[in-house]
Structure 1
Amino acid sequence: MIYSSAAAGIGALILIFALFRRFTRPSLSVIRGPQSPSFIFGKDFPPSQFARSYLSALTRNLLELFQRPIGEADFAWQSQYGNVVRFKSVLGEDRLLVTDPEALRRMLNTSTQTYSKLPNYRIVSRMLHGTGLLWADGEDHRRQRSIMLPGFGMNECKEFLPIFKDCAEAISMKWLEILGSSDSRGLVINVLAWVSRGALDAIGHAAFDVQFGAIEDDLHPLAKKYKNYLGDIFGLPPSKQIFLQAASKYIPTCILQWLLENGSNTRLVRARDVRTTVTSIAKELVREKADTLLQGRGNTDIFTLLVKANMDANAKKKLSDEELLAQMRTLLISGYETYLHCGCLYPIGACAASQVQSKLRDEIRKTEATIRARSDPQLTVADLEAMTYLNAVVKVFDVPMAFALLITSAGRITIPPASTPFPENCSSR
């Protein structure tokens, strides 16, 4: 009874605050956007579906954005309404979906003092990724990025080519074994699952000098925890989760933090379990790499370079212990998810464009012949750079981003800069 009353009280406060914000902030009504259901009831639903229809009405356009395939609603809105679209969030709140390239450049690169991450999303990010680069904002983000940069220089990245090549060859050998042991004329291979294994092994070696053993089914504890991690937490979110995520901006940060740390939801439990495991392993890795560096040795994996840069930095730029440990989760998410994403979508795109696929195969065969003809038969970065058609495909192929949405907020009333001018008397916050 006490918990029910407390929940009702919190809900009432959220509603009052949302209504206050709704009617005191500048209007975005002059910006075009998709229609949404009525504020309370949505469309006409039978009484048996009242609860579901009520929640759907509250979440409004968010259901279209988060429950349809990634990019489907975004591109449809962009095509119909332009590069800046107004849509409805919970309780009738107006939000902007910005795809204008000039606006994005200003908001994410040159006007970061004005645009920042929402506090509620930073709290969620802290639980998922720790106080690393994905969580950091403003000066903290610049400080952390300066420490991370040495691991991502051009020369350092070129050193990773043999690692990715070995993982690709290992997957090819596994596929040949599967085909050779099959008695059937046709066989279906789950490419996504195998690319996922290759991505884990490649990132484990390149980022941490750790053998994850995913391709050989000998999974490292860390690889087991991160297998389908983001899919388990964010995949196919129900209406209730979408509503709570959007409404969390009205919840005091201390209460939201407590809910995330103590909630029994399976997705939250999964996130906390991964956090515990990764932090424990990261502590051991930092200790090992620091000892190795003090002895005048050390590898060229990204985490070693990160630890070295932090040891060499002055006191003002150094990462705290918590920030340093969190970078392991940052590297895993950023490296594994992006590599897996592109590693699957580029072949899918090539399959859909037979002419592109044929030209790529011809260029690959020519490059292989060139490599075999010389004394050192190893694929090099120069060989890849000489493959002009491959590089053109990588640059212009229409592959959606690995991270589809970046949510940010203006710290003051402002007109977002855009290549297409906004209507007059339009401002947003």
Structure 2
Amino acid sequence: MAFTAVLPPSSVSLLLSSILFLAVLIALLRRRRPLTTTHLRGPKSINIFGVLRVILAAKDHGLLFETWERKHGAVFQLPGLFGRKEVVLCDPKAIAHFYLKDTYTYRQTPVNRFAFEHFFGRNLLWAEADVHKRQRKVLSSAFSNAAIRIQTPVFFDSAHKLTASWDQTLQSVSSSDGVVIDVQQWMSRVSLDSIGIAGFSYDFGSLSGRSAQVVAAFETFGSSTRHIITDLAILLAPIFPWLIKLPGPRKTALENLATVISQIATDLLKDAKKDSEYGAASAGSDKSIMGALGPSRLRKCRRKRSWLRL
């Protein structure tokens, strides 16, 4: 007597999905070619995810990597997903060499480029090789030695504002009570205000305690809670970059941050164009990066339009 086992549709779908996943995984692993490189020390792999789960669970990522640096040296490797290896550089000379050869010799990983394009578009962070070279050429006038020398007082001014805020905080409490200052948070404020003034002639006022939309977006992104979907996307994204599109708290916070930054940059660019086109008195006195780039780009656009009319 013959017996026939009938599986429910859900079990069949799960079985087929598992077989398909294993087939894709085996194909990807077979495509990997072993490379002969310098053997580097590093933490041992815990499971198929390497040490990615340890990094995700760490409260202070900087402290975790400093611990690994002290134990394994200034250049070490981290085990990643399914046996992948990631090299971490903590040596200044190695980092300088990396950035010197950046976008030509050393390329970004597919997941990094996918994430930059998805959240911020095809900008300077996404570009590589000749495309990156052309974009850097556009920005070269704003980052010359003379332009950087003009922006130096901006960073000194931010440092003075920082010390004034700390002095005020220390004076507001008694000597016996003491006070805890979150230096990392204050450094983020220094960076934000300095970039705003030097880049766009716009003071976000985060050092002064002013409430700004972009500050709130940064804080929301930094304090967003972990979610199982987000962790899953981060763990599997090196092989399946499209998982970055999965919804989650950090994805929502990052999209909100990108929207806020894009809106502010668009408004500031419109103001810079308006000042340059109408010959505003402030156009010549604007020494920011936007002020340096705006007139030159507008002159090129005008020359192009004149040539088209001819």
TM-score by length of 1: 0.55
Where does 1:225-240 land on structure 2 (aligned, <5 Å)?
Answer: 225-227=217-219, 229=221, 231-232=222-223
Is the CA contact 1:59–1:243 (under 8 Å) kept in the aligned structure 2? no
Other-structure match for 1:60: 50
Where does 1:6-85 land on structure 2 (aligned, <5 Å)?
Answer: 13-28=20-35, 32=39, 33-34=41-42, 36=44, 57-64=47-54, 67=58, 69-78=64-73, 83=75, 85=77
Where does 1:153-168 land on structure 2 (aligned, <5 Å)?
Answer: 153-168=144-159
**SS of structure 1 residue aligned to 2:87:** strand
**SS of structure 1 residue aligned to 2:210:** coil
**Ranges in structure 2 where 5+ consecutive residues have no aligned partner:** 1-7, 303-310
1:107/1:163 Cα in 2 relative to 1: closer, same or farther (>3 Å)?
Answer: closer
What one-letter code is carried by the residue in structure 1 that aligns with 2:219?
Answer: K
Deviations 1:50-90 (A, max 9, x none): xxxxxxx22123345664523432453337xxx464x5322
Is the CA contact 2:230–2:249 (under 8 Å) kept in the aligned structure 1? no
Other-structure match for 2:204: 212
Other-structure match for 1:169: 160
Once the two structures are TM-superposed, the CA of residue 304 in structure 1 deviates from its matched residue by 2.3
Distance 1:156 1:190 in 2: 34
Other-structure match for 1:280: 263
Distance 1:177 1:2 in 2: 68
1:4/1:194 Cα in 2 relative to 1: closer, same or farther (>3 Å)?
Answer: farther
Distance 2:174 2:94 in 1: 56
Does residue 200 (structure 1) correspond to residue 182 (structure 2)? The answer is no
Once the two structures are TM-superposed, the CA of residue 287 in structure 1 deviates from its matched residue by 1.0
1:288/1:2 Cα in 2 relative to 1: closer, same or farther (>3 Å)?
Answer: farther
**SS of structure 1 residue aligned to 2:148:** helix
Does residue 134 (structure 1) correspond to residue 125 (structure 2)? The answer is yes
What one-letter code is carried by the residue in structure 2 that aligns with 1:78?
Answer: G
Once the two structures are TM-superposed, the CA of residue 10 in structure 1 deviates from its matched residue by 6.3
Other-structure match for 1:247: 236
**SS of structure 2 residue aligned to 1:168:** helix
**Ranges in structure 1 where 5+ consecutive residues have no aligned partner:** 43-56, 316-429
Other-structure match for 1:384: none
Deviations 1:187-237 (A, max 9, x none): 2141523333333222221111112121222222223222374x346x9x7
Does residue 117 (structure 1) correspond to residue 108 (structure 2)? The answer is yes
Distance 2:15 2:266 in 1: 42
Aligned pairs, number: 283
Which of 248, 262, 270 lines up with 1:265 in the alignment?
248
Where does 1:82-97 land on structure 2 (aligned, <5 Å)?
Answer: 83=75, 85=77, 87-92=78-83, 94-97=84-87
Other-structure match for 1:361: none
Distance 1:75 1:14 in 2: 39
1:250/1:144 Cα in 2 relative to 1: closer, same or farther (>3 Å)?
Answer: same
**SS of structure 2 residue aligned to 1:124:** helix
Once the two structures are TM-superposed, the CA of residue 268 in structure 1 deviates from its matched residue by 0.3
Distance 2:201 2:249 in 1: 31
Distance 2:295 2:11 in 1: 52
Is the CA contact 2:49–2:82 (under 8 Å) kept in the aligned structure 1? yes
Distance 1:156 1:260 in 2: 38
Other-structure match for 1:352: none
**SS of structure 2 residue aligned to 1:196:** helix
Distance 2:159 2:267 in 1: 29
Is the CA contact 1:59–1:239 (under 8 Å) kept in the aligned structure 2? no
**SS of structure 2 residue aligned to 1:203:** helix
Q: Percent identity?
A: 20
Is the CA contact 2:186–2:207 (under 8 Å) kept in the aligned structure 1? yes
TM-score by length of 2: 0.73
What one-letter code is carried by the residue in structure 2 that aligns with 1:205?
Answer: I
Once the two structures are TM-superposed, the CA of residue 96 in structure 1 deviates from its matched residue by 4.3
Other-structure match for 2:306: none
Between the two structures, name the one with larger relative contact order (CA 8 Å, sep ≥ 6): 1
Q: CA RMSD in A?
A: 3.8
Is the CA contact 1:289–1:304 (under 8 Å) kept in the aligned structure 2? yes
Does residue 306 (structure 1) correspond to residue 293 (structure 2)? The answer is yes
Other-structure match for 1:348: none
Once the two structures are TM-superposed, the CA of residue 277 in structure 1 deviates from its matched residue by 1.7
